[in-house]
Structure 1
Amino acid sequence: MNIKKVLSICISSILGVSLIAGCAGKSNSDGINGQSKDNSNITYAFVGKEAQNPYMRKVYEGFEKSCKENGATSIYKSPEEATTEKQIEIINQLIKQNVSGIAIAANDANALHPVLKEAMEAGIKVVSLDSPVNGDSRETHIQQADPEKIGRGLIQAAYEMVNGNGDIAVLSTTEQAANQNLWIKWMEKEIEEHPEKYAKTPLVKVEYGEDDSVKSALKTQDILTSTNSKVIIAPTTVGMLAAAKVLKDKHSDVLLTGLGLPSEMAPFIEDGACPWIYLWNPVDMGYLAGYTLDSLKKGGISGVKGDTFKAGTLGDKAITEAAYGGTEVMLGDPFKFDKSNIDEWKDIY
């Protein structure tokens, strides 16, 4: 038998197996309870804070992946500016499109309530992630990490960086961002509970860059000119990168820590301007949000405390009570990035 004939038989066999597998994969029944697996009409939307925010794009990567795994269509919508008004416009559009579920990183915890309530009354499942909406405006919230651990951890990091001697300033996002406000609250509580330890490292100023790189840069300059801060905490990826660039341009000896993307902050960690940062995996957070919406949509959970579900490669997840009302699903603990490991992570996200 010549080589061409052997190849012809092999290819025919492979095609035959593929066709059989393909036909089997198109079945609309799960073979157990007869429920349809055709999710072609299910669409989940992720609404980010601001269109140019690279962190939000990473969140959507995970969200899109989970939707594909569940056979659903995904949509990414974000306003050009980090405003509540623009998010309301987007949600109204999604209600008209009759999407199956909405996951939103909120620019305001309370102002979105009327439009999200309208969405839920229309049968659309709603979860928040990153920055929550109030408990009555959602089924549940995707909590990236324990807010207490984030807030206390950041102020402890700033203290360590200046060896307990130097003022601290915070560069936040918007004044209405519930997650940011909760983290700052825990920073303040850490200082209040340990007055002797932080006697020479007071928190002297909080500025708001509104998750805009230009505004964040200007607020960083305000901190440098109006305070004697020795370290800036930026619990926002947009603000952190903007602050790092300002500190570098001005050859400042003010240190920086906070929540940043390893890919963006690697040069500043390597040169010592930012000794270390913290973050969770934003891709995983989006992935968890997608699985949570899908479980809500298909009736596996209802968003109440005690519900459990499988979140793909993240494994089993449980819904617990949230500190600020309603319920939440916890992703995990924040991760520390410094000179010892930044090379491993900077090309990942």
Structure 2
Amino acid sequence: MKKALTVTLATLLVVSLSACAEDGDSGSDGGGGETTNGIKSGLKIAFLPKQVNNPYFTSAGTGGKAAVGEFKGTYSETGPSEASPSAQVSYINTLSQQDTDVIVVSANDKDAICGALTEAKSGGTKVVTFDSDTKPECRDVFVNQATADGIAKSQIKLISEAVGAEGGKIAILSATANATNQNAWIEKMKTELAKPEYSKLQLVATVYGDDNDQKSFQEAQGLLAKYPDLKGIISPTTVGIAAAARYLQGSTYKGKVALTGLGTPNQMRAFVKDGTCKAFALWNPEELGYLAAYAAGALASGTITGKQGDKFTAGKLGEYTVGANGEVLLGDPTTFDASNIDKFNF
């Protein structure tokens, strides 16, 4: 009887070990957690936008939270209420002290947060930048919404069409003076404006609203006070374009001064329908946040390292490849106008 019991227990042990091996083959991360597309469960992913309570970053966070939920991680979001170069440093320090697996950050300044990010990386935290990059050495991967060249071409084409064949003076209403992405786009816009086909457009000013609604409104107002013959404004920031649209809508310049830039359909819908703005562009910020979260999960799981040629699957968006300098590209921006704006809800 004792011998029979021993045999039975041995048999059960073999069956149990076989079952564990089969479970591991079907999706174990080696540490007992499940995996989704090679991403470990239980990862702590923290989003740090340029500014909280900003509609653009709220949409990006919605996408990020959905992705983290899909691979069974823990999502959080924190950040400053005002977009300024050094405002994100203390948040980075706190997140790294909390053993966050990945910080997903949109940089207000490419230099100001590098020290804090480098220290976080030395402690084992991975860093993904999205929307606005830092220096490449300060992060592991950059998830870019679109190429600077693509955005610049889109913006200049839109303002040229809105102003018309006669051309005239135009101005740029940007976010912060240190924003990496804004500055890259503006430089590319200047290059684009130098082409013969845009010779009748004259860029007379670039002003900064600091991604603050009231300041952006005042900067738009100030542009028209200084340049009453201004023909168009480009505002490549969601806060700025909405504030400029609100100013133009209530002024004598409505219908006389063209407006374009980067905005969300929900915030710009009324301005498009009443003629304040004919067309503007943007990528889908929810998809940007979603992709950034999956890049973060893949990075923390060792699926990618940020090396050129690395591949990972980003849920419903499919497979992506890491490009030069650790960059992952979401895709081209979409143009929104009266013909299609009601098809989008973000």
Shorter-normalised TM-score: what interval? Answer: 0.7 to 0.9
Q: Which residue of 2 aligns with 1:190?
A: 192
1:301 maps to 2:267: no
Aligned AA (2:214): V
Question: Which is further off, 161-170 or 288-297?
Answer: 161-170
The alignment's C-alpha RMSD in Å is 1.7
The correspondence for 1:37, drawn from 20, 33, 38, is 33
Match of 1:269 among 267, 272, 278: 272
Q: CA deviation at 1:82?
A: 0.7
- Secondary structure at the aligned position of 2:204 is classed as strand
Structure 2 length-normalised TM: 0.88
Write the distance in 1 (CA, Å) between the matches of 2:128 and 2:251. 41
Specify which of 314, 317, 322 is matched with residue 319 of structure 1. Answer: 322
Q: Would you say the 8 A contact 1:30–1:37 is kept in 2? A: no
- Matched position secondary structure for 1:202: strand
The structural deviation recorded for 1:250 is 1.2
In structure 1, what is the equivalent of residue 180 of structure 2? 178
Aligned counterpart, 2:6: none
Any residues of structure 2 matched to 1:54-133 within 5 Å, and which? 54-133=55-134
Moved more, 52-61 or 35-44: 35-44
Separation in 2, partners of 1:118, 1:220: 39
Q: What is the aligned partner in structure 2 of residue 209 from structure 1? A: 209
1:274-323 residue CA offsets vs partner (Å, 9 max, x unmatched): 000101110000000000011001111000111111111100101111xx
**CA deviation digits over 1:91-142, x for unaligned, max 9?**
1110111100011011001111100001111111101011111101110101
Counterpart of 2:332 in structure 1 is 333
The aligned counterpart of 1:4 is none
Instruction: Please tell me the residue identity of whatever aligns with 1:125.
Output: K
SS at match of 2:331: coil
Partner of 2:7: none
Secondary structure of 1:108's match? coil
CA distance in 1, matches of 2:23, 2:223: 60
Please give the alpha-carbon distance, in whole angstroms, between the structure 1 residues aligned to 2:235 and 2:222: 14
User: 2:225 matched to which residue of 1?
Assistant: 225
Question: Counterpart amino acid of 2:203?
Answer: L
Structure 1 length-normalised TM: 0.87
Unaligned runs of 5+ in 1: 1-23
Shift of 1:84: 2.8
1:342 aligns with 341
Q: CA deviation at 1:254?
A: 1.0
SS of 1:332 mapped into structure 2: coil
Secondary structure of 2:322's aligned partner: strand
Q: Distance in 1 between matches of 2:163 and 2:29?
A: 63
> How far did 1:257 drift?
0.4
Which structure 1 residue ranges, 4+ long, deviate > 3 Å from structure 2? 27-34, 38-41
One-letter amino acid of the counterpart of residue 109, structure 1: K
Contact 1:28 1:37 in 2 (8 A): no
Q: For residues 30 and 240 of structure 1, do their structure 2 counterparts lie closer, same or farther at Cα, with a shift above 3 Å needed?
A: farther
What whole-Å deviation, never above 9, does each CA across 1:179-208 have from its counterpart, x for those lacking one? Answer: 1111111110012232xx333211111011
Amino acid at match of 2:286: V
Q: d(CA) in 2 for partners of 1:180 and 1:293?
A: 24
1:248-271 deviations in Å (ceiling 9; x for gaps): 121312111010110010111111
> For the Cα contact (< 8 Å) 2:85–2:178, is it kept in 1?
no
Deviation of the 1:32 alpha carbon:
5.9
Aligned equivalents of 1:117 and 1:217: distance in 2?
A: 36
Please give the secondary structure, in 2, of the residue aligned with 1:297: helix
Task: Indicate conservation of the 8 Å contact 2:311/2:321, yes or no.
Answer: yes
Give the fraction of aligned pairs with identical amino acids, expressed as a percent. 39
**Pair 30,163 (structure 1): closer, same or farther in 2 beyond 3 Å:** same
Confirm or deny: 8 A CA contact 2:33 2:42 kept in the other structure.
Answer: no
1:198 maps to amino acid? Y
- Give the aligned partner of residue 284 of structure 2: 281
Conserved 8 A contact 2:41-2:71: no
Give the Cα separation in 2 of the matches to 1:43 and 1:177: 27
Q: Matches of 2:170 and 2:134 in 1, distance apart? A: 29
Figure out how many residues of one structure are paired with residues of the other and give that number.
Answer: 316
For residue 63 of structure 1, give the secondary structure of its aligned residue in structure 2: helix
Residue 225 of structure 2 aligns to a residue in which SS?
Answer: helix
Shift in Å, 1:327: 2.2
The residue number in structure 2 matching 1:19 is none
Q: What SS does the aligned partner of 1:175 have?
A: coil
Q: In structure 2, what is the equivalent of residue 134 of structure 1?
A: 135
